[in-house]
Structure 1
Amino acid sequence: MDSNDGFDAATKMETPLKEYFDASTWARIHASLQGSLTKRGAGNEGTRQFLDLVLLKAESGIPWSDLPLSHSKIHNVYVRFCRWTDDGVWPPVLEAMSEAPEAQRLLEQLVRNHMIFRRSRKFRSEILKAS
């Protein structure tokens, strides 16, 4: 392998993402975000890329750290995913995804698993504090 091939082991290559929605489904999802994310800027172009990254994680089952982004951007995606979970943003998004049932199922499962993990982590923390 040539050392000048442009690959830096510390930074993952950014590759084009699979788009999980057609234009009409994305328009419904974007509209569902308008009321709940006005303070967080739901109108930016990055929102669709964020959702595609979350669905890539859900579909492939890879760890967050293996998403095709630099480490700092992976952290931002994970934090945003957690905030959307905590803020209750996912239910209207899932409803808007009704015409993409496979993506809807994958996202619903990822959100559910994350919520279970967070609850169990909080419960373990409370038990340790009590002992």
Structure 2
Amino acid sequence: MLAILPGRIGVRASNGGNARRFVEAVLWMAHTRAYWSDIPPEYGAWHAIYIRFGRWAHEDLWEDVAKAMEELPETQALLRGMVEKFQANYRIQRLRGTMK
């Protein structure tokens, strides 16, 4: 699955070089439904993970990750739900004019 993931983009994400750790952090979020700030520190800085998650959501990269998880249908559904919720919230904020 790591072959389908994009590499580090510039230096925007301090954990950009470790795609596996980043994806594990996002899957932890999907399974626990915790706040982003509750991500365990061993995954990296929660804010950097959140920003990178959003960038991947805008670039529709999570669907490729979800497809690679066909043997894990529950995880696949949780990830897709998390991405859909993020995208819906983003659209609402854009419509309200609260996003820059």
TM over 0.5: yes
Give the unaligned 5+ runs of structure 2: 11-15
1:69 to 22, 37, 41: 41
Structure 1 residue 109 and structure 2 residue 78: aligned? no
TM-score normalised to structure 1 length: 0.63
In the aligned structure 2, how far is the partner of 1:82 from the partner of 1:64? Answer: 12
Alignment of 1:25-36 (within 5 A): 29-33=1-5
Q: Could you tell me whether the CA contact under 8 Å between 2:29 and 2:36 is conserved in 1? A: yes
Give runs of ≥4 in structure 1 deviating > 6 Å: none
Give the unaligned 5+ runs of structure 1: 1-28, 127-131
Alignment of 1:8-23 (within 5 A): none
Q: Residue 68 of structure 1: CA displacement?
A: 1.1
In the other structure, the counterpart of 1:40 is 9
In the other structure, the counterpart of 2:91 is 119
Q: Could you tell me whether the CA contact under 8 Å between 2:7 and 2:19 is conserved in 1? A: no
Percent identical among aligned pairs is 35
In the aligned structure 2, how far is the partner of 1:47 from the partner of 1:39? Answer: 8
RMSD: 2.3
In the other structure, the counterpart of 1:99 is 71
User: What is the number of equivalent residue pairs in this alignment?
Assistant: 92
In the aligned structure 2, how far is the partner of 1:115 from the partner of 1:65? Answer: 19
In the aligned structure 2, how far is the partner of 1:69 from the partner of 1:78? Answer: 13
Which deviations, in whole Å up to 9, do the C-alpha atoms of 1:71-110 show, x marking residues without a partner? Answer: x811110010001011111111111111111111110010
In the aligned structure 1, how far is the partner of 2:72 from the partner of 2:3? Answer: 16
TM-score normalised to structure 2 length: 0.81
Bigger RCO (CA 8 Å, 6+ sep) = 1
